[in-house]
Amino acid sequence: MYKLATEKLPELLQCWSQGATVYVPQKVGEVTLFRPFKGQGDLALGEGNTLEPPKDLFFPRTEKLYDYWASGKEARLEPVELHPDRAVLVGVRSCDARSFLLLDQVFLTRGYVDEFYKKRRENTAVVALACTQAAPTCFCTSFGIDPGRAEGVDVQMWPVPGGYLLEALTPRGEEMLKQASGLLAPAEGEKIPAPAQPSLQVELEGLVEKLQKMFDHPYWGELSRKCLGCAICTYLCPTCHCFDIDCETIETSGYRFRCWDTCLFAHYTLMAGGRNPRPTRKERLRNRLLHKLQYFVERYGQFACVGCGRCLELCPVNVDITKVIRDVKEVSL
C-alpha cells in the first residue's frame, strides 16, 4: 500500500496520461462528470458520485459500426477500426465498479462477444475511490457492494487526511503504481478509513418470486400515473444498456451506428405497421423495473441495480426504486 499527498494528485493523473487518456470526475457547470484530464479543470474527487455514470466509456452514447457506400450495382462496406486508445478511469465508486461487471455479463457472455465493448473494456484501467460518506440516496450495501472496496478494479484508492492510500489489485494496477512510484510513499502505519454506511436499505429476500407473480398487477398502473416517460432513469443508470441500430445516409454513402435507447420511450417497441406491444407508460415503466429486479436476476443471477441512487435523486416525479421494492413486498396478490 502507498500514500499519495493531495497536492500530488494532478501529477499522478499527468503521469497516467502518458499514452492514455485519463478520465476523472470534474465540475462542469453545476454538475460533476467524468471528463478527460487536461492538466487543469476542477477536479471533484471529494464529492459523492458523478451525475452521469461512467458506462459511456465502454458503451458510448453513439458508436459507429461500419461505413458503407453504394452506387448503381456496386456497394462497399468498410469496417471501422475498433477503439484503439488506452484510457484510465480514475475515481470510480464501488457501485459503478459493480455495474461494469454487470455490463460484462450482457456484452461478453452467453455466446456473444461484443467486440466494440470488449476492446474498450480491455483498453481501460479502472481506479476506484472508496466512499467514506454516503448520500441519502445511496443504497449499494443492499446489493452486497462494499462502498469501501470495489470489485474488479485495477487500483483501489481511499481518501485519508492529507492524501490518498493506493493499493494495486491486478498486474496492470501494479504496473501503474510502479509508473508513478516517484510520487508515492510507502504507507506505513496508515489506516484504511471506515467505509460509508448508507442509511437507505432494501430487503431483497423473496422479491423475485413475488415479482414473478405480479406482471398483471394493478400496482404498475397506479405507479406509472405520475411517470413522465423520460429517459433520466435509464440514460443515467449505470447498468441500463439498451441500444438501437440505425444508419445515416447522405447521397451514396453513410454509416451504421448504434446509440442508447430506452424502454421508457414509446418508439422503443414500436413495430412496423404501427403496433406497439407496450402501448402506455404502465407497460414501459413496469419493464424497466422488472428488467432490473426480475429478468436480469433470472438470466444472470444478479440484480441489475447497484444502488447508486441516481434515478431516485433525479427522477422529476420521485419514482423511487427503493419504495417500489418495499411496496412490492406489501401488495396483496
Partner 1 sequence: MSLQDKMRERARELLESGAVNMVIGWEKGTFWYLSPPAFITTPEEADRLVWDEFCLNNLSKYLLDYRNTDDKIALFVKGCDSRNVVRLLQDNQFPRERLYLLGIKCPGLKDSRAASLLGEEKRAELPLAPKCVGCTHPEPVIYDELLEAGVSGDLGSPEKRFEDVEKIEAMSYDERYAFWVNAYARCIRCYACRNVCPACDCRECIFDRTQTGWCGKQMGLTQNMFFAITRALHVAGRCTECGECERVCPQRLPIMTLNRKIIKELNALFGPYEAGVSLEAKPPVVEYRPDDPDFEERR
Stretch touching partner 1 by CB under 8 A, among 92-100, 114-122, 142-150, 265-273 = 265-273
Distance CA 13, CA 10 (A): 5
| CB closer to ligand SF4 out of 99 and 124 | 99
In the chain, which ranges are E strands? 2-5, 21-28, 31-36, 62-71, 74-79, 87-92, 124-129, 155-160, 163-168, 185-186, 243-250, 253-260
DSSP label at residue 149: B
| CB closer to partner 1 out of 128 and 311 | 311
Stretch touching partner 1 by CB under 8 A, among 5-13, 66-74, 138-146, 257-265 = 257-265
| Residue 292 contact partner, candidates ligand SF4, partner 1, none, CB within 5 to 8 A by sort of partner | ligand SF4
How far, in whole angstroms, is CA 12 from its chain's centroid? 24
Beta bridge partners of 186: 2
Taking alpha carbons only, the member of 109, 110, 154, 125 closest to residue 57 is 125
Q: Binding of ligand SF4 at residue 227 (CB under 6 A)?
A: yes
| CB closer to partner 1 out of 51 and 108 | 51
| CB closer to ligand SF4 out of 8 and 156 | 156
Distance CA 176, CA 183 (A): 12
Q: Binding of partner 1 at residue 229 (CB under 8 A)?
A: yes
Q: Counting runs of H as helices and runs of E as strands, what totals does the chain give? A: 11, 12
Smallest gap from residue 234 Cβ to partner 1 (A): 8
DSSP label at residue 198: -
Q: Binding of partner 1 at residue 231 (CB under 8 A)?
A: yes
| Residue 29 contact partner, candidates ligand SF4, partner 1, none, CB within 5 to 8 A by sort of partner | partner 1
Residue 210 near residue 28, CB atoms below 8 Å: no
Near partner 1 by CB under 8 A: residue from 153, 322, 324, 325: 322
Q: Binding of ligand SF4 at residue 198 (CB under 6 A)?
A: yes
Distance CA 217, CA 214 (A): 5
Near partner 1 by CB under 8 A: residue from 38, 110, 172, 226: 226
Taking alpha carbons only, the member of 209, 233, 221, 223 closest to residue 293 is 209
Q: Which of residues 283-312 bind ligand SF4 (CB under 6 A)?
A: 285, 292, 305-311
Give the contacts of 71 (CB within 8 A, at least 6 positions apart).
252
The residue count for binding ligand SF4 (CB under 6 A) is: 36
Smallest gap from residue 9 Cβ to ligand SF4 (A): 19
Smallest gap from residue 238 Cβ to ligand SF4 (A): 5
Near ligand SF4 by CB under 6 A: residue from 87, 176, 237, 328: 237
SS3 content of the chain, % helix, strand, coil (to 5): 30, 25, 45
| Residue 33 contact partner, candidates partner 1, ligand SF4, none, CB within 5 to 8 A by sort of partner | partner 1
What would the x/- binding string for ligand SF4 be over residues 50 to 89, using CB under 6 A? ----------------------------------------
Near ligand SF4 by CB under 6 A: residue from 106, 127, 168, 315: 315
β pairing state of 87-92 and 155-160: unpaired
- Angle formed by the axes of helices 9-16 and 171-179, to 10°? 120
Assigned C-alpha cell, 205 = 429476500
Phi, psi of 288 (to 5 degrees): -60, -45
Question: Residues in the site for partner 1, rule: CB under 8 A?
Answer: 28-31, 33, 51-52, 61-62, 136, 222, 225-226, 228-232, 235-236, 244, 246, 248, 257, 259-261, 265-267, 312-314, 316-318, 320, 322-323
Question: Residues in the site for ligand SF4, rule: CB under 6 A?
Answer: 49, 93-95, 131, 134-135, 138, 140, 147, 196, 198, 227-230, 232-233, 237-239, 264, 285, 292, 305-311, 315-317, 319, 321
